[in-house]
Structure 1
Amino acid sequence: MERESIETSWGRVGCTVRGTGGVPLLFLHGVGSDRTAWDGQVECFGAERIAIAIDMPGYGDSEAGNGDPRSDFASAALAVLVALKVPQAHVCGLSLGGVIALAMHARAPERIASLVLADTFACHPEGQAIFDRSLAGAAELGMAGLADSRADALLAQPADPAVRQAVVKTMSRIDPAAYARAADAVWLADQRREAAAVSCPALILYGSQDRITPPALSEELKQLIPHAGLIEITGAGHLPNLEQPAIFDRVLAGFLAGLDD
């Protein structure tokens, strides 16, 4: 099963769907990415269950929203589950995707089988400053220039040149208006109350060399969600699914296997 986009009650959402059976697994990308960042995971997990990756509103093949960005993004993701007739899904979100996963759980906990929160946070202490720098950088450098200037901070060093090139290419094609809305959704979030209310199984992952969302923020999430697992992925920065895909996939598979037993 494959789709480039799907019409939902929210609007058109770009998505990739692979596999059949099992409890579906939904992947949510970060602010500087799109659904293609999850291609490896969709291929891997689509061998055993339905695996879905979506474009956030305004990204890739998704139409832009016009409401509160965080609410819009959560609504679009939940609408995809409804359109695909998925009553409940595991949700794996990285950075912005993790913020949206928490927002989805707050809005519709009955639709969330589990949460995997990768390199994300409930509230970033430097969120306003990062938001301001992100928008200023996009305005001054353009998305391609911003992508090239940020890539080394996103990745553990020394970075794989092919991974760096892919990160820059993906970020360069983001619509600036969509990027601004996504930056609002992630960096200005304060979801400490929502995180503390998480009732489903949860796993927190983080790259050992993440400089964007330092490990301390994952540890704070663990304090807010005491029943969650907490796992460090060594040799990775902010994008462990791209930098250390074999380890990322193995950890995620182990978590899901424990829930499927």
Structure 2
Amino acid sequence: MKKLRVFILIFILLNLFTACKNNTDLIRIAVIDTGINKEVLRKNTVLDGWNYVLRSDNTEDPDGHGTMVSSLIVGSKDGKIKGKSKKVNLIPLVCSGINEYGKEMKNTPSLAAQAIRDAIDKYNCKIINISSGVLEDIENLRAAVEYAEEKRVVVISSAGNDGNEEIYYPAGYDTVISVGSLDINGDIAEFSQKNNRVDVLVKGTDIKVIGNDGNMYRVDGTSFSCAYVTGEVANLLIDNPQLTTEELRQYLSNKY
């Protein structure tokens, strides 16, 4: 009987060790976007974040864009969207959406800069996914990106959907992985930015995503290409946690 109790105790301890190990293996990804509806995504993948528009912890997604992006990273609750990575948690940091007066607010460099710093210092994120940008190199945004590089945090940003050579920031910074889109034929998509700061081109047309209403949609855009790359970087860090941000950028540049 004593041997049986010892065996059960060892079994419990091994399971606790495995659970703790798996928990520490999870990579935290900040999604700087419109919020996330966690109810339609794979269970237990979305943690608490912050809404910089409402200045509250309400990170629900009235727009749907942030949820669509997130579904490509972690997958949907119903399994229709598989998601690129399984061992990650998402931190919604809302920098665009509807404010308390019902006015639509777009992401600003100051909000994005603060979200980047908070993702690192408050939420311990190793990856930051951004699907917006501005056409001007703003000092506080540049400083936030430099801080991320200093802390070995990977910033991945969509290149933009104007279809021209203009450079959006933060995608335009050297240390940020700038992601553009390919069409279904493998050519650069008509809408995708076409400048020398685009590091990676992956499929960004006719992409299946889950909206915040739980329905599946087909969408186009560099935001969704960016989400795919974010999931891939997460998998690389899970398997090779010693990789530096420079090594990750080099790997992706060589692959694509």
Q: Scaled by the length of structure 2, what TM-score is found?
A: 0.43
Q: Scaled by the length of structure 1, what TM-score is found?
A: 0.42
Higher helix share: 1
Larger Rg: 2
